[in-house]
């Protein structure tokens, strides 16, 4: 595919052929997050097994091409990851995996990072824990870096 303007081939590919679009019935964790600056919305579904491994991830994003590409890449990176490692998926990591985004579109990848955090909070709450464990894990990851 030829490169279109400021977007990498990988971004275009994930935008034109999004991976893992859809919903997961009986998901272990679900989140819906919005981007207040543009009104775009992303919904994320995670299926997590008893070993704490994300077996499946699906998304539905009502948003711009960069948001759809970020959602698609995020779900690809989440599948097979441990819950702790999923929290290391920063928006920058998603942007890097996509081969970069134009500066004005970096904010579009932030929804994906927030959606992972919120979906994992939902997962822990469903397991009878407090949502703050996610904040603590995230703080620990930031400290280690």
Q: Which of 38, 92, 102, 132 is catalytic?
A: 38
- How far apart CA 113 and CA 88 sit, in angstroms, is 9
Please report how close the Cβ of residue 95 comes to ligand FES at its closest, in angstroms. Answer: 12
Please report how close the Cβ of residue 121 comes to ligand FES at its closest, in angstroms. Answer: 21
Judge whether 64 counts as a catalytic residue: no
Residue closer to ligand FES by CB (options 1, 104) is 104
Cβ contacts of 97 within 8 Å, gap of 6 or more: 10, 73, 77
The residues that touch ligand FES, with contacts defined as CB under 6 A, are 35, 38, 40, 63-64, 66-67, 105, 108
Cα distance between the two ends of the chain: 36
Q: Which of 44, 69, 77, 108 is catalytic?
A: 108
Please report how close the Cβ of residue 10 comes to ligand FES at its closest, in angstroms. Answer: 17
Residue closer to ligand FES by CB (options 54, 119) is 119
- How far apart CA 141 and CA 63 sit, in angstroms, is 29
- Which whole-number Å values give the CA distances from 123 to 29, 48, 127, 131, in the listed order? 4, 8, 6, 9
- How far apart CA 73 and CA 97 sit, in angstroms, is 7
Please report how close the Cβ of residue 106 comes to ligand FES at its closest, in angstroms. Answer: 9
Residue closer to ligand FES by CB (options 41, 93) is 41
Residue with tokens 């970069």: 100
Residue closer to ligand FES by CB (options 8, 35) is 35
Which positions are annotated as active-site residues? 38, 108
């Amino acid at each position: 595919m030829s490169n279109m303007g400021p977007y990498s081939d990988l971004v275009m590919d994930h935008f034109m052929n999004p991976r893992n679009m859809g919903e997961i019935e009986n998901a272990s964790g679900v989140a819906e997050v919005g981007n207040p600056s543009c009104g775009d919305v992303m919904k994320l579904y995670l299926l997590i097994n008893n070993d704490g491994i994300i077996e499946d991830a699906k998304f539905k994003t009502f948003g711009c091409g960069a948001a759809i590409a970020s959602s698609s890449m995020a779900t690809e990176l989440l599948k097979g990851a441990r819950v702790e490692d999923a929290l290391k998926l920063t928006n920058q990591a998603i942007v890097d995996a996509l081969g970069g985004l134009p500066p004005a579109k970096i904010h579009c990848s932030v929804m994906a990072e927030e959606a992972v955090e919120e979906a994992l909070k939902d997962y822990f709450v469903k397991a009878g824990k407090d949502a703050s464990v996610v904040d603590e894990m995230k703080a620990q990851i930031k400290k280690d870096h």
